[in-house]
Amino acid sequence: MKILNNEENLASFLEDIREREVTIVSAFASGTESVIDLLLDHGNRLELLIGTINSFSSPDLFDHCKNIANDNFSLFVDFGYQSSIHWKLYLIEPETVIIGSANFTVTGLSLMRDTCVVIENKTLLESYIKELAAIKSSNNVVSCDGAHFEDYLQKYRENHRRMQAGRARSVRAGDGNEWLSAEENQLIPVLIWDSRHTKDTIEEAHKLLKEDSDEEPASMLRDFFTYDCDEADLPYSQGDLVLCMNSKGSYADFYSFDRILHEDGINYIYSYKQKRYTRPFRLSNEIKSEIKNRVGDWYEREITELGRAEIQDVIKSANK
């Protein structure tokens, strides 16, 4: 038996595996697309079984996996949510079993705060393979090749976004690096606007809010935004904390979407004044500069959220 640590970590151990059958079971997976690709590039047969507790696993990773055209790869997702698998297990045939606390994430594989042991025992590996076969036969476990996988994934993506919106409202990190240090932080909603409100739009927005609240808008409004779409198609929910900016990247800040009213195909989104405004992390001048460098692409793609990989790229570039 051998103990792995942050000097001789799980990521480097997996990098050295070639032409073997590898099975990875993890409660949570995020940011490890490059590890998946490397294991396949090294001629391994790779199978993943990933859990969905708290909807923490990354939908982007699932998207990456379902687009892999390789007969030596398979992905199973346990869509049981809170009852889904919580294992952290790495099997390398014919006899290597790695078990511990390390999820299949960048931080998990680094073993900076996790531990695991390597056990060479063929009987133990074969026992786990049998256990996994039984788990994969359950109704909640779906193969990415399955006919209904996309339906399950779409529902999961919506749950993931709701959970992340809730985290955005509750997480208070000092800066972007601290926010990234918690791998559960996966997503931030974004709204990019392209023009200032007309006088008619302002009057209509204020009229609707006054009818709804009986208060003067000027006394309660920090700002408001509009979004043209059917009410059911609005990609934001009341209570969301959203990174807002114009199409040039100016005026970037986090706004709470405190009230949303729909009228004639337009969603009026109101952010109220507060004594202290909530932000998941501080937007430094360097981060704001990076936002300006990238906002043109975001606007062209009509994004309404930033995933962890893109946020990490912004923050890392801002740190240089």
CATH number of the domain residue 106 falls in: 3.30.870.10
Does 169 fall in a domain? no
Residue where one domain finishes, among candidates 131, 159, 187: 159
CA 234, 240, 242: angle at the middle one, nearest 5?
A: 90
Does 294 fall in a domain? yes
Q: What is the model's pLDDT at position 185?
A: 93
One domain for residues 303 and 197: yes
Q: What's the rounded Cα separation, in Å, for the pair 92 and 96? A: 5
One domain for residues 38 and 136: yes
Q: What is the mean pLDDT of the chain?
A: 95
Summarize pLDDT for 170-197 with one digit per residue, the tens.
Answer: 888 999 999 999 989 999 999 999 999 9
> Tokens representing 60?
């982007």
Length of the chain: 320
Whether the predicted pLDDT of 85 surpasses 90: yes
Whether the predicted pLDDT of 215 surpasses 90: no
One domain for residues 236 and 307: yes
Does 273 fall in a domain? yes
> Tokens representing 181?
């240090």
Whether the predicted pLDDT of 166 surpasses 90: no
One domain for residues 102 and 19: yes
Does 213 fall in a domain? yes
The model carries a pTM of: 0.85
One domain for residues 125 and 185: no
One domain for residues 194 and 300: yes
Cβ atoms of 45 and 74 within 8 Å: the answer is no
Residue 223, CA distances (Å) to 20, 63, 67, 220, 244 in order: 57, 36, 41, 9, 11
Does 194 fall in a domain? yes
One domain for residues 186 and 299: yes
Domain of residue 142 covers: 2-159
Does 38 fall in a domain? yes
Whether the predicted pLDDT of 61 surpasses 90: yes
Please give, one letter per residue, the 3-state secondary structure of the chain.
CEEECCCCCHHHHHHCCCCCEEEEEECCEECCHHHHHHHHHCCCEEEEEECCHHHCCCHHHHHHHHCCCCCCEEEEEECCHHHCCCCEEEEECCCEEEEECCCEEHHHHHCCCCCEEEEECHHHHHHHHHHHHHHHCCCCEEECCCCCHHHHHHHHHHHHHHHHHHHHHHCCCCCHHHHHHCCCCCEEEEEEECCCCCHHHHHHHHHHHHHHHCCCHHHHEEEEEEEECCHHHCCCCCCCEEEEEECCCCCCEEEECCEEEEECCEEEEEEECCCCCCCCCCCCHHHHHHHHHHHHHHHHHCCCEEEHHHHHHHHHHHHC
Residue where one domain finishes, among candidates 110, 128, 159: 159
Residue where one domain finishes, among candidates 159, 193, 220: 159
One domain for residues 127 and 178: no
One domain for residues 113 and 148: yes
One domain for residues 136 and 273: no
Does 167 fall in a domain? no
Across 138-152, 211-225, 274-288, least confident range: 211-225
- pLDDT band per the 50, 70, 90 thresholds, residue 84: very high
Q: How many CA atoms lie within 13 A of 30 on its CB side?
A: 24
Q: What is the model's pLDDT at position 165?
A: 86
Number of domains observed in the structure of the chain: 2
Does 168 fall in a domain? no
One domain for residues 181 and 254: yes
One domain for residues 152 and 184: no
